[in-house]
Amino acid sequence: MCIFCKIVNGEIPNKTLLEDDDFLAFEDINPSRKIHALVIPKQHISSFDVMPPKVMGEMTAFIQKLASKLEIKDSGYRVISNIGEHGGQEVKHLHFHILAGEYVGKLVSN
Ligand code: AMP
């Protein structure tokens, strides 16, 4: 079972920011910005590349709700999904990085 599936089923602890029946948002263990959340579907989907469009729509609404909860809608934020080897994806369970809390617009190597 992958590490994010273990987070979903409670085997590995996490700092939950928002949760519903289908999605979970939690703090990245190694934050690269002041606010660094990860948003995942609870079902195992290996990457953005194989995500059904319907899930993308639902995740979009969930991320917008998370942005409200984190009070970053006005200041802004960045949404990133790394895909495969060249995309730098380490965890093979679809996730979106939500970066915020400071200027996060510049592309960086990490
Ligand atoms: P990626 O390189 O896009 O696959 O990103 C994987 C992210 O998962 C990294 O930013 C890690 O810091 C994060 N991560 C790995 N294990 C955990 C964990 N147990 N709890 C929270 N975040 C994690």
pLDDT reading at 109 higher than 80: no
Domain residue limits at 2: 1-30+37-46
Q: State the Cα–Cα distance between residues 14 and 27, nearest whole angstrom.
A: 7
Q: Rounded to the nearest whole angstrom, what is the distance from the C-alpha of residue 90 to the centroid of ligand 1?
A: 8
- % residues pLDDT > 70 (the chain): 97
Q: Is residue 25 in some structural domain?
A: yes
Number of domains composing the chain: 1
Q: Is residue 2 in some structural domain?
A: yes
Q: Is residue 17 in some structural domain?
A: yes
Q: Is residue 58 in some structural domain?
A: no
> Would you call 36 a catalytic residue per the annotation?
no
The confidence score (pLDDT) of residue 57 equals 98
Question: Cα–Cα distances in Å, from 51 out to 9, 28, 74, 105, 110?
Answer: 21, 21, 29, 25, 23
Global confidence as pTM = 0.96
Q: Is residue 62 in some structural domain?
A: no
Residues with a CB atom less than 6 Å from ligand 1: 3, 12, 14, 28-30, 38, 82, 88-91
The confidence score (pLDDT) of residue 106 equals 80
Average pLDDT, rounded, for the chain: 96
Q: Rounded to the nearest whole angstrom, what is the distance from the C-alpha of residue 39 to the centroid of ligand 1?
A: 11
Q: Rounded to the nearest whole angstrom, what is the distance from the C-alpha of residue 29 to the centroid of ligand 1?
A: 6
Give mean pLDDT, residues 78-107.
Answer: 96
The confidence score (pLDDT) of residue 110 equals 54
The confidence score (pLDDT) of residue 28 equals 98
Q: Is residue 11 in some structural domain?
A: yes
CATH number of the domain that residue 2 is part of: 3.30.428.10
